[in-house]
Structure 1
Amino acid sequence: MAPKTATFIILAIYVAIMVGIGIYTSRKTKSSEDFILGGRSVGSWLTAFSYGTTYFSAVVFIGYAGQFGWMYGLSAAWVGIGNAIIGSLIPFFLIGRRARLMSNHLNARTMPDFFEKRFDSSSLKTVSALIVFIFLIPYTASVYNGLSKLFGMIFDLGENGHIVIIALMALLSAAYVMLGGYKATALNDFFQGIIMLIGIATVVGLTMAKKNGLSEASDALNLISDAKTPAGTLGSLFGPDPINLLGVVILTSLGTWGLPQMVQKFYAIKGEEAIRKGAIISTFFAIVVAGGCYFTGGFVRLYNTDTTGPAFDANGAPIYDQMIPELLKQAMPNILIGLIVVLVLSASLSTLSSLVLTSSSTLTNDLIKPRVKNFDDKKQVLTMRVLIAVFLVISVIIACNKNASISTLMSYSWGALSGAFLGPFLFGLFMKKATKAACWASFITGVGISVVHMVLFRLNISAFDGLTKAVADLNCPLNLLSPINAGAFAMIVSLIIVPVVSLITSSPDKKVVDNAFSSLTTTE
């Protein structure tokens, strides 16, 4: 059987299973609470896998692993370790129980809903809902972009083939989310997570085997050097640029604490025991998947040596989004290409389903419901399904831009979202004196830093050419032009500004605060 034929058969089986799960769970989705949070009764395994598969997508496997593997070599694996410890283990233990209890007590279904009821402000709810919808779009577009790169490499779809792939993936993700909501997403995530674990382990093993094992591959990396990369650093423990590598770890790890699509997993989990088990499972999942992705990415320079190849532009500059597809083409036997396609598809569809569900539920629950009379459960679920389609159409339009960098889209999305929400959400759970004024300050700085950075350094506006050149000429050890560092900076500012502003602004209403924190005395 030809490799492409086998790949198509594997894909057809995969699609049938995804849609089948959507149809099955649709029968159990009776209310908007079921659609958004699965009735708040999701167990540890489903929650852990849903958390991990939402976390890691084609953005990580195709975009970030390629870019950071090229830039930092084997030290890029630190990003995967950070994702496992800071991005998975700590938030389960630190945030999980409080987020579940407080959101349940306040009857908060979404993060904007939490902000309204925790800080007694409908305006916070409205603005945060708009931030969620706007800044989840570029993240969704980045996932589609990653998928299209891989499919384009495998199937040779021509100049506009990526548009077809993006549209098909949008239809597939919409199909099972519209049918079954959160339950369909969680059950599919579990199935997709198993595929990801098997697929990543296979990729790591074959990548090493092709270059005669870890020792020889590391030695070969240490022989590579260029203007920004001294010899002997790509195979070293901390790589050629540990300062900017730290920015990547912060953005991709700490960012999960303030992302609505991640935090919502804690709203839906069954209980405290499920949180403890979920912490261990999700950490193991992250070590294998994220660690494996970035570890594999560390070897892309060994597989992309021809500067006239498809992973380089006409000037010989690397095209990061093409690095991993080229590595896979060389390292993987044709018979296993179908497994890799399903691996990346699983990682991406699980993320996409969470993104579209988060966005549509936020708009419906937090913007439309308060303003529409007689908006019963059936109307809410129907509205969410319509908004899923709207959200996907906008994302597809953005993703069809071939020049849109996967890592750039994702960095601005995470930077704005977590830069706005991280401090308010975390201190809202732990600090009784956190104020609504502090929330506003974080919203403004988080979104402001990301948007200002994008305008100044990413939109190629001629009026700012001089500024961009001046910043580039500073030779600062921290890359000020990087949207990754801008996002990491926004998150750190959020963690600082909330307690500082809370200390100098009017104290919150004691009844509102006491009501919220009374939930934490509950014993499960």
Structure 2
Amino acid sequence: MLEMWIILIVYLLIMVGVGWYYKKKNDSVSEFVLGGRTLGPWFTAFAYGTSYFSAVIFVGYAGKFGWNYGIASTWIGIGNAVIGSLLAWLVLGKRSRIMSKALEAKTMPEFFEKRYNSKTLKIVSAMIIFVFLIPYTASVYNGLSRLFEKGFGIPYKYCIIGMALFTAVYVIMGGYKATALTDFIQGIFMLVGITAVVLSVLNLNGGLTSSIDMLHNIPSADGSTGEYSSLLGPDPINLAGVVILTSLGTWGLPQMVGKFYAVKDDKSIKIGTIVSTVFAVIVAGGCYFLGGFGRLFVSNIDGSPEGGFDAIIPQIMERLPELLFGIVIVLVLSASMSTLSSLVLTSSSVLTIDLIKPMSKKLSEKKELLIMRIFIAVFLLISVILAIITLENPQTVISTLMSISWGALSGAFLAPYMYGLFWKGVTKASVIACFISGVGITIAHMFYYTFGNRSGELFGLDLASPINAGAFTMLFGLAVVPIVSLLTGRGKKEKEHAAQVFTCFSSSDT
């Protein structure tokens, strides 16, 4: 236990030290929010990866979907690497950097305002971001608190409060550059840690071959064997929904897309694409592959794991040597704090830049930074309260909270953002329609199925799953925007504005 405490304390002191180092280097809003748009490829790629993968993935998703699909859950990690990282950088990276710089957009709501010449879009998108980032933040707290309880015997709620305080300290002091440097440090921990953990867990059952053989002998719901060790698992249809949500979802999340705004040049985009993809293969692939062996360590009680889905990974970790368990704690803490810092910085900057600043024309940069720091604390406080309230509610397991958040955010933003980078013909009406459909479908599904405790199935697809609902909102939005754009058309002013915006690509210093 002493070794675990030493590892934890040293790690936390490093994080606070980084925040203190950058405290006096943030003299402008652009520096605080985007690091002055001067970050290189490695920092940006690691910031992208560590913001992508947190305790939500390692504890919540890896545990639940590893239990449901066996080693076929590894496809989720592969999808995260190929779609969520590689294609996201290839499709969105360069054009996001160029257009956001030309429009002087520091946040996604600012991008919507200046791309579509609409203050309404900025206000509405800012409100959506603030509301729906909260459940995602709560899911991050819940995932980490469960491992801390197992490793240190600290009650969940104290873990949540302590984590929020440390995150607040280094983000409020250091801003984006501090989070980028800590993300790089945290990323190193994650790469080394997940590799060591996977190898150690497999060795507990005699290695890879022996572990797969044992998994092969576990019967599925119909009594047959071999499904949990098969290539596609027992339920490939619903597995596809998880791949879509967790992979395509990054294309519409403001805290992920914002990483492209901070890159300094196109060369950094090319290098960052490779680095972030390799990072995702190791971290996401490793997490889901590990989760696929959960049934070897947790008892099956009437089809469900003993202690619930969120207890699977913590129970596996209990079998590891104490020193390695301490490294796992730091691994998950690294992933979670990097994600949290990205979430709170995104939310506070959106509230300040897109909602508060427009109401006060005399707001100086100094006051703007002060308000942003205050909102970081407020956002963390609200999410802590929600995390504690929902911690023991069986309807709000980690995967549910994340699915609601990603479904609403990416369902609303993915299509208008992506199309807006490539197509002049996107109309304001289509963007509003996508906002309404993304948020509306998510809320309707949440109240009817999740809170209504209803079930439903169509052609083997679980209609009650918030995962599938989130995946549907994204795909639906990709159809809504072009259809509504073609039906509504653009006026003369809209055409002129779009033409002016797209001159950035012909005049950019690529």
TM range (shorter): over 0.9
Could you tell me which residue of structure 2 aligns to residue 523 of structure 1?
509
- Output the CA distance in 1 between the equivalents of 2:10 and 2:242: 36
Distance 1:268 1:251 in 2: 25
Q: What is the CA-CA distance between 1:260 and the residue it aligns to?
A: 0.2
Alignment-mate amino acid for residue 309 of structure 2: Y
CA distance in 2, matches of 1:328, 1:123: 48
> Please, which of 48, 55, 67 is the counterpart of residue 64 of structure 2?
67
Secondary structure (helix, strand or coil) at the match of 2:451 reads coil
* Corresponding residue number in structure 2 for 1:252: 246
CA distance in 2 between counterparts of 1:288 and 1:104 reads 32
Query: Hey, what does 2:39 align to over in structure 1?
Result: 42
Secondary structure, counterpart of 2:228 in structure 1: coil
Work out whether 1:393 is the aligned partner of 2:377.
no
TM-score normalised by the chain length of structure 2? 0.97
**Is 1:511 equivalent to 2:492 in the alignment?**
no
Residue 324 of structure 2 corresponds to residue 328 of structure 1? no
**For residue 181 of structure 2, what is the aligned residue in structure 1?**
187
Q: 422, 436, 439: which is aligned to 1:447?
A: 439
**Count of paired positions:** 502
How far the C-alpha of 1:79 sits from its partner, in A, is 0.4
Query: Secondary structure at 2:62's aligned position in 1?
Result: helix
1:89-488 matches, cutoff 5 A: 89-157=86-154, 161-227=155-221, 230-305=224-299, 307=301, 312-313=306-307, 319-330=308-319, 332-400=320-388, 401-402=390-391, 403=393, 404-460=396-452, 468-469=454-455, 471=456, 474=457, 476-488=459-471
Q: CA deviation at 1:27?
A: 2.1
**Is the alpha carbon distance of 1:229 and 1:147 closer, same or farther for their aligned partners in structure 2, counting shifts above 3 Å?**
farther
Aligned residue for 2:445, secondary structure, equals helix
Identify if the C-alpha distance between structure 1 residues 5 and 307 changes in structure 2 by more than 3 Å, giving closer, same or farther.
farther
Aligned position for 2:53: 56
CA RMSD of aligned residues (A): 1.4
Deviates more, 1:265-274 or 1:368-377: 368-377
Aligned-pair identity (%): 55
SS, match of residue 234 in structure 1: helix
TM-score by length of 1: 0.94
Q: 1:233 to 1:226 in 2, by over 3 A?
A: closer
2: distance between equivalents of 1:285 and 1:101?
A: 25
Task: Determine if contact 2:299/2:305 at 8 Å carries over to the other structure.
Answer: no
How far did residue 69 of structure 1 move? Answer: 0.3
Instruction: Provide the rounded CA distance (Å) in 2 between the counterparts of 1:514 and 1:57.
Output: 40
Q: CA deviation at 1:311?
A: 5.2
Q: Measure the CA separation in 2 of the matches of 1:94 and 1:475.
A: 33
- Secondary structure, counterpart of 1:95 in structure 2: helix
1:76-135 deviations in Å (ceiling 9; x for gaps): 000000000100011111111100110000111100100000001100000000000000
> How far off its partner does 1:426 sit?
0.3
Report the Cα distance in structure 2 between the residues aligned to 1:140 and 1:306, rounded to whole angstroms. Answer: 30
Query: Structure 1 residues 323, 229: CA separation in 2 closer, same or farther (over 3 Å shift)?
Result: farther
The ranges of structure 1 where at least 4 consecutive aligned residues each deviate by more than 6 angstroms after the TM superposition are none
Aligned counterpart, 1:316: none
- Structure 2 stretches of 5 or more lacking a match? none
Tell me the SS of whatever aligns to 1:432.
Answer: coil
TM-superposed CA distance for 1:306, in Å, is: 6.3
Query: Structure 2: how far apart are the matches of 1:36 and 1:228?
Result: 53
**Contact 1:46 1:186 (C-alpha < 8 Å) held by counterparts:** yes
CA distance in 1, matches of 2:222, 2:381: 40
Measured at CA, do residues 165 and 311 of structure 1 come closer, stay the same or move farther in structure 2, by a change above 3 Å? Answer: farther
SS at structure 2 position matched to 1:433: coil
Is the contact made by 1:229 and 1:240 (CA closer than 8 Å) also made in structure 2? Answer: no
Tell me the amino acid that sits aligned with residue 345 of structure 1.
L
Q: For residues 414-473 of structure 1, what are the alpha-carbon distances to aligned partners after superposition, in whole Å with 9 as ceiling and x for unaligned?
A: 00000000000000001110001000110000001110000001114xxxx6xx25x2xx
Structure 1: runs of 5+ lacking an equivalent: 314-318
CA–CA separation in structure 2 for the residues paired with 1:377 and 1:57: 32
1:446 aligned partner, one-letter code: G
